[in-house]
Amino acid sequence: MSSSDGFSRHTQPKLKKLTAEQILQINEILTSLDDYGEVQLIIQHGELKYINKVESHRAWNDEQGKKAN
Beta strands in the chain (DSSP E): 37-44, 47-55
- pTM above threshold 0.85: no
pLDDT in tens, 17-63: 888 899 999 999 999 998 889 999 999 988 999 999 999 988 887 77
Q: Phi/psi class of residue 32: alpha, beta or left (left: φ > 0; alpha: ψ in -120 to 50)?
A: alpha
Domain boundary assignment for the chain: 20-68
